[in-house]
């Protein structure tokens, strides 16, 4: 025995036509392959005699007075915007609508009766303004307008819910009918394939549930797809459903929101009534207009909500920046957050500390909620039907509405919002149960239309008011905000730590710079003083030269200490005022002093061509002091120590070269020779602390220059410093 479900009924290919219309179907070659049987009543010829005729030939036969009217219908139906060609004609004193359209590689010709409805353009403008009234509900207004147009006893807005059941959310009725506002209808009242048809074709109606339907006479046994057919008959199951509801005529107009079937304008009339094509078009237009206005209102409300919540987010962000204490910050914003979410309570905390506000579950229940929700991987999880029963007393309130937000990744910091149970009495239009009947003739079971639509009530419990999507998104933004602020704070702390390390390193560098670089002028002073002490009969010229050396060295020491003080005081790069300097005198003075200091009296020193460079005097002296001093020191133990200093010039740079034949360096391990306190393994036995080259690197950076080195162990070293010619 086979069980036929509602969704298996092929309602789009039922092969039957309502009594107020006629249908002709043509193949891709525009030859008639099907005609409704009732054609014989109107044109006194059998439907089978029309099979095989071309559409132009058939139009001439059916509507001879309007032969020229249909000459250009192919141009209109080729345009996707005007896919249906419609004209109003007169047949023996009665008005009819003629429709021609393409669907599923076939051509359709419909002829249906008109009831004389005529919609004036001024009326349409009035209807549109009526829908836009701010003091009314757009859906309620739509029911009033459609009822005015089609004159039905009941017009209601039927909205689909997430569980695919439906509910009446607006209604306009005759005074003698009982209201159905708020009534629920089960999902199986409108099966799946019916919903697909509502989405594909926006208007459907039946003029009389008791009228005789006409079958299609076809040249083949193939099923004719009547998805877009306005005169298609309803399925027997749905007709019986309407009869059980004591309805003789019905109409429906699809409400499509963002491409999905959002609901229906469902219309019912106690007595038979035909809704003609012009009325259906007007109702379809107004329904879509109402959808557009509804979406505009929703988006305006959404924008307003975002503006209000954005202000709260900005204030919360500011407080989080100023206060490291999450609990203290959320303590100040708890009630405003709860208000934005329409939450009854809020909880924030971790394993060690927590705070709660408003109405929240007992502490042991919150622990159970944490345990049950720990499996959720999302940063934000929301439900309106959460259940927790362990240790729950019957007198305690339920909180099935829960939002759980993980505030800080990889931590126990959690934010919870609660909504209490919201018990409501739901009223159903009849008990929502599917009744299956048995047909002994076909040996099949099939769903029977419900016979009772009397109010059936049930208490909906164990759930809260559902969280709106915008509320969930608001909490998602709060979580992201907290994480961004904490991450940025962590970055700031790391940056400050790095700056502190740099400051300490800089302080070390300053101290070592002073002790390192002041040795040279001090040596000059010491040597001049020793020479004065050692000789008794000194000439005026010799005394003048020694005193000049002492004064120059003292002046240089003063300038170096001033420069170090400026850098240390500002903890930043001092703004330099470079000018052209000829370093010849500096270089010669450094060479003489270094020879004395390192006892390299047999040094062969060669000074090549020297070009002035754009630099600051003290820093340039320190740069050459370290590079030339090192060259003399590390070549001093050679049999023939040699140091060469020279410069070259090009369009953009002046390059200085300091070359020696000393002990050299091993650069293969990519070690940073400019790092402070770094000394080469082969420098043992030579005085030094590893500070000189770090000072060189710092000075080169300050002077906007670059430095490079070439060296091999035992083969000497070549330093190259490139100064920018123009700044």
Q: How far apart are CA 434 and CA 168, in angstroms?
A: 20
Q: Cα 340 from chain centroid?
A: 22
Model pLDDT, residue 466: 93
pLDDT confidence of residue 612: 93
Give which of 108, 91, 98 is closest to 43, Cα–Cα. Answer: 91
Residue 4 has pLDDT above 50, yes or no: no
Residue 503's closest CA among 566, 567, 560, 561? 567
Domain 576-727 has CATH 3.40.50.2300: no
Q: Give tens-digit pLDDT for 416-457.
A: 999 999 988 888 887 777 766 666 666 656 566 777 777 778
Is the separation of the CB atoms in 667 and 676 below 8 Å? no
pLDDT over 90 at 250, yes or no: yes
Residues of the chain with CATH 3.30.450.20: 14-113
Chain segment 606-643, per-residue pLDDT in tens: 999 999 999 888 788 888 988 998 899 989 889 999 99
What is the mean pLDDT of the segment spanning 639-650?
A: 94
Chain-centroid distance of CA 106 in Å reads: 44
Query: What is 338-356 written as a DSSP string?
Result: HHHHT-SEEEEE-SS-EEE
For the 323-423+461-484 domain, the top CATH level (class) is alpha beta
SS3 554: helix
The pLDDT confidence band at residue 78, using thresholds 50, 70 and 90, is: confident
Residue (of 394, 398, 539) closest to 462 by Cα position: 398
What residue ranges of the chain are covered by domains with CATH 3.30.565.10?
576-727
Mean pLDDT of 116-136: 85
What tens digit of pLDDT does each residue of 557-613 get?
Answer: 666 666 665 655 454 444 567 888 999 988 998 898 888 888 898 999 999 999 999
Report the share of the chain in percent with pLDDT over 70: 84
**Residue 4 near residue 434, CB atoms below 8 Å:** no
pLDDT tens, position by position, 389-404: 666 666 678 899 999 9
Note if the pTM is more than 0.85: no
Q: 14-113 is classed in which CATH architecture?
A: 2-Layer Sandwich (3.30)
Residue 388: predicted pLDDT:
74
Supply 565's token pair.
């003080």
pLDDT in tens, 507-537: 555 555 555 566 667 777 777 777 777 776 7
| End-to-end alpha carbon distance in the chain | 97
Cα-based distances in Å from 637 to 625, 634, 661, 714, 719:
19, 7, 10, 12, 20
Report CA-CA distances (Å) from 377 to 366, 406, 415, 515.
Answer: 18, 9, 15, 60
Counting other chains too, the contacts that 666-674 makes at CB distance below 8 Å and 24 or more residues apart are 666/711, 666/712, 666/713, 667/709, 667/711, 673/709, 674/707
The pLDDT assigned to 11 comes to 55
pLDDT band at 111 (very low <50, low <70, confident <90, very high): very high
Q: What is the pLDDT of residue 71?
A: 85
CATH code: domain 117-213+221-300 is 3.30.450.40
């Amino acid at each position: 025995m086979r069980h036929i479900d509602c969704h298996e009924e092929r309602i789009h290919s039922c092969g039957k036509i309502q009594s107020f219309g006629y249908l002709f179907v043509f193949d891709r070659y525009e030859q008639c392959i099907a005609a409704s049987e009732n054609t014989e009543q109107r044109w006194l010829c059998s439907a089978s005699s029309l099979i095989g005729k071309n559409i132009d030939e058939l139009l001439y036969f059916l509507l001879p007075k309007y032969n020229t009217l249909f000459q250009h219908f192919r141009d209109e139906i080729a345009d996707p915007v005007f896919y249906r060609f419609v004209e109003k004609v007169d047949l023996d004193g009665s008005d009819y609508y003629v429709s021609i359209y393409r669907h599923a590689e076939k051509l359709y010709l419909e002829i249906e009766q008109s009831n004389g409805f005529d919609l004036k353009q001024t009326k349409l403008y009035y209807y549109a303004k009526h829908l836009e009234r701010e003091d009314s509900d757009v859906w309620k207004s739509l029911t009033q307008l459609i009822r005015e147009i089609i004159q039905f006893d009941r017009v209601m807005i039927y909205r689909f819910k997430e569980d695919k059941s439906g509910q009446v959310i607006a209604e306009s009725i005759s005074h003698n009918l009982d209201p159905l506002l708020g009534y629920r209808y089960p999902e199986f009242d409108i099966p799946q394939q019916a919903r697909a048809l509502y989405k594909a074709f926006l208007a459907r109606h039946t003029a009389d549930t008791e009228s005789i339907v006409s079958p299609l006479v076809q040249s083949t046994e193939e099923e004719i797809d009547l998805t877009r057919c306005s005169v298609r008959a309803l399925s027997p199951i749905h007709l019986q459903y309407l009869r059980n509801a004591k309805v003789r005529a019905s109409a429906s107009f699809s409400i499509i929101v963002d491409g999905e079937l959002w609901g229906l304008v469902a219309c019912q009339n106690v007595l038979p009534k035909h809704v003609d094509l012009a009325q259906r078009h007007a109702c379809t237009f107004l329904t879509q207009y109402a959808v557009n206005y509804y979406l505009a209102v929703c988006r305006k409300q959404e924008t307003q909500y975002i503006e209000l919540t954005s202000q709260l987010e900005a204030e919360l962000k500011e407080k989080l920046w100023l206060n490291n204490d999450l609990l203290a910050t959320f303590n100040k914003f708890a009630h405003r957050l709860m208000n934005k979410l329409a939450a009854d309570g809020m909880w924030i905390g971790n394993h060690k500390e927590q705070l709660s506000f408003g109405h929240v579950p007992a502490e042991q229940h919150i622990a159970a909620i944490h345990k049950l929700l720990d499996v959720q991987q999302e940063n934000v999880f929301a439900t309106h039907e959460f259940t927790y029963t362990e240790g729950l007393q019957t007198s305690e309130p339920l909180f099935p509405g829960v939002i759980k937000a993980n505030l800080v990744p990889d931590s126990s910091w959690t934010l919870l919002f609660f909504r209490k149970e919201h018990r409501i009495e739901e009223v159903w239009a009849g008990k929502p149960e599917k009744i299956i009947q048995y047909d002994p003739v076909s040996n099949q079971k099939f769903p029977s239309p419900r016979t009772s639509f009397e109010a059936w009530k049930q208490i909906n419990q164990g759930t809260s008011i559902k969280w709106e999507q915008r509320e969930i998104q608001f909490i998602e933004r709060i979580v992201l905000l907290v994480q961004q602020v904490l991450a940025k704070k962590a970055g700031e702390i790391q940056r400050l730590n790095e700056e502190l390390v740099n400051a300490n390193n800089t302080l070390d560098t300053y101290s070592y710079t002073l002790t390192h670089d002041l040795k040279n002028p001090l040596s000059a002073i010491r040597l001049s003083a020793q020479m004065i002490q050692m000789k008794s009969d000194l000439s005026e010229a010799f005394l003048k030269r020694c005193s000049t050396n002492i004064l120059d060295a003292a002046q240089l020491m003063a300038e170096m200490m001033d420069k170090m003080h400026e850098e240390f005081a500002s903890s930043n790069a001092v703004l330099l005022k470079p000018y052209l300097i000829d370093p010849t005198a500096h270089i010669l003075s450094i060479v003489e002093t270094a020879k004395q200091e390192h006892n390299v009296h047999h040094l062969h020193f060669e000074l090549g061509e020297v070009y002035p460079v754009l630099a600051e005097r003290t820093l340039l002296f320190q740069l050459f002091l370290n590079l030339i001093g090192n060259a003399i020191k590390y070549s001093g133990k050679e049999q023939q120590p040699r140091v060469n200093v020279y410069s070259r010039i090009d369009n953009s740079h002046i390059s200085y070269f300091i070359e020696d034949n000393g002990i050299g360096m091993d650069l293969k391990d990519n070690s940073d020779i400019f790092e402070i306190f770094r000394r080469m393994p082969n420098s043992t036995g030579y005085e030094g602390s590893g500070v000189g080259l770090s000072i060189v690197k710092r000075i080169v950076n300050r002077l906007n220059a670059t430095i490079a080195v070439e060296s091999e162990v035992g083969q000497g070293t070549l330093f190259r410093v490139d100064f920018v010619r123009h700044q």
